[in-house]
């Protein structure tokens, strides 16, 4: 990538923040405008945010392929590489006025995510990562927690309605249960030690939701897998969801045991 990825992301984040400012905490922002490429309703706030990114990329192409939650796959006349975009991760929070929603961007080449950027669009807090090099929050290195016992940990756990048993058993063991509503940020929170794990068993998490946050988490010392402890990979397709288990690493095998 010829241009500075993180500088470009900061510019895009500024555009998104400006474009959606009048839609945050409004019924109008939550109005459904169409069905997105991922098969779920696109809200006005999502569309406006994505449009601002698309306009930027047309003038400053950072990649040859964009994969976005709303638009799906879009080709650009830029350098080789794929950009995974979730323009507003945590749409419900944004519309409700809950200050926990984010822009999520991940850059990949040869099927490997190399750089990640997640900004809380409410607070401006920004998480970045580069594979094999660093994970940071607002430019400062971050690290996962060292909590080793389930009865001392705080986990964000999303379960499937038709299979609550695994979540129930795990819930009996953990000390604190947190559901924050924006997966990209929750993965970053694991990375900086604010929570000890993020688990989503619904099978609906897509590459656009998780790609950036996964890199932040893993580069900060965390472990990310499927619910059986195997390496987790996503297809470059927004209609396909996955389950995910991300922890500080120390807790990982214990969490997996309770999910089996």
CA atoms within 13 A on the CB side of 239: 6
Task: Show the 3-state SS of the chain.
Answer: CCCCHHHHHHHHHHHHHHHHCCCCCCCHHHCEEEECCCCCEEEHHHHHHHHHHHHHHHHCCCCCEEEECCCEEEECCCCCCEEEEEEEECHHHHHHCCCCCEEEEEEEECCEEEEEEEEECCCCCEEEEECCCEEEECCEECCCCCCCCHHHCEEEEECCCCCCHHHHHHHHHCCEECCCCCHHHHHHHHHCCCCCEEEEEEEEECHHHHHHHHHHHHHCCCEEECCCCCCCCCCCCCCCCEEEEEECCCCHHHHHHHHC
In the predicted model, is pLDDT for residue 161 greater than 60? Answer: no
Overall residue count recorded for the chain in this entry? 260
Number of independent structural domains in the chain: 2
Mean pLDDT of 159-168: 63
CB 58 within 8 A of CB 77: no
Residue 162 shares a structural domain with residue 120: no
Mean pLDDT of 190-199: 97
Q: Does residue 173 or residue 20 have the better pLDDT? A: 20
d(C-alpha 156, C-alpha 255), whole Å? 12
Domain check: are 135 and 18 in the same one?
Answer: yes
Count other C-beta atoms under 10 Å from residue 120's C-beta.
21
**Shared domain check, 133 and 170:** no
The predicted model gives 238-244 an average pLDDT of 91
Q: Are residues 223 and 117 in the same domain?
A: no
Neighbours of 231 (CB within 10 A): 7
Q: Annotation-wise, does 51 bind a ligand?
A: no
Mean pLDDT of the chain: 92
Comparison of pLDDT for 97 and 37, the residue scoring more:
97
User: Looking at residue 1, what is its pLDDT?
Assistant: 44
Residue 163 confidence (pLDDT) above 90: no
Token duo for residue 48: 């406006």
Give residue 19's pLDDT band: very low, low, confident or very high (50, 70, 90): very high
Find out whether 55 is annotated in a ligand binding site: no
**Which of these three, 141, 169, 186, is where a domain ends?**
141
In this prediction, residues 137-156 reach a mean pLDDT of 95
Task: Give the domain-ending residue among 141, 172, 196.
Answer: 141
Q: Are residues 174 and 131 in the same domain?
A: no
CATH number (domain holding residue 197): 3.40.190.80
Domain boundary among 141, 158, 179: 141
Return the higher-pLDDT residue of 258 and 108.
Answer: 108
What confidence score (pLDDT) does residue 167 get?
A: 66
Residue 7: pLDDT over 70: yes
Average pLDDT of the residues in 36-60: 94
Give me the mean pLDDT over the 236-254 stretch.
Answer: 93
Q: Which pLDDT does position 3 carry in this prediction?
A: 46
89 in a labelled binding site: yes
17 is in an annotated binding site: no
Measured CA to CA, the distance from residue 88 to residue 93 in angstroms comes to: 10
Higher pLDDT, 158 or 7: 7
Residue 50: domain span: 5-141
pLDDT of residue 2: 39
- Specify the pLDDT at position 169: 67
């Amino acid at each position: 990538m010829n241009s500075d990825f993180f500088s470009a992301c900061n510019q895009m984040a500024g555009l998104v923040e400006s474009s959606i400012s009048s839609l945050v905490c409004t019924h109008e922002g939550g109005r459904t405008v169409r069905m997105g490429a991922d098969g779920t309703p696109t809200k006005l706030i999502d569309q406006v945010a994505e449009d601002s990114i698309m306009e930027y990329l047309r003038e400053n192409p950072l990649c040859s392929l964009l994969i976005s939650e709303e638009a799906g796959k879009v080709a650009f006349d830029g350098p080789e590489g794929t950009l995974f975009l979730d323009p507003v991760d945590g749409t419900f929070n944004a519309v409700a006025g809950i200050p926990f929603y984010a822009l999520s961007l991940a850059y990949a080449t040869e099927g490997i995510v190399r750089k990640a950027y997640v900004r809380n669009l409410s607070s401006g807090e920004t998480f970045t990562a580069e594979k094999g090099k660093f994970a940071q929050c607002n430019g400062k290195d971050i690290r996962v927690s060292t909590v080793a016992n389930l009865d001392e940990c705080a986990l964000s756990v999303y379960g499937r309605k038709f299979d609550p048993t695994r979540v129930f058993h795990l819930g009996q063991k953990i000390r604190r249960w947190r559901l924050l509503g924006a997966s990209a940020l929750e993965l970053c929170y694991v990375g900086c030690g604010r929570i000890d794990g993020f688990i989503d068993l619904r099978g609906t998490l897509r590459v656009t939701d998780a790609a950036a946050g996964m890199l932040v988490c893993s580069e900060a010392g965390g472990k990310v897998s499927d619910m059986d402890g195997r390496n987790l990979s996503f297809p470059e397709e927004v209609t396909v969801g996955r389950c995910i288990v991300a922890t500080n690493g120390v807790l990982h095998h214990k969490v997996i045991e309770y999910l089996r």
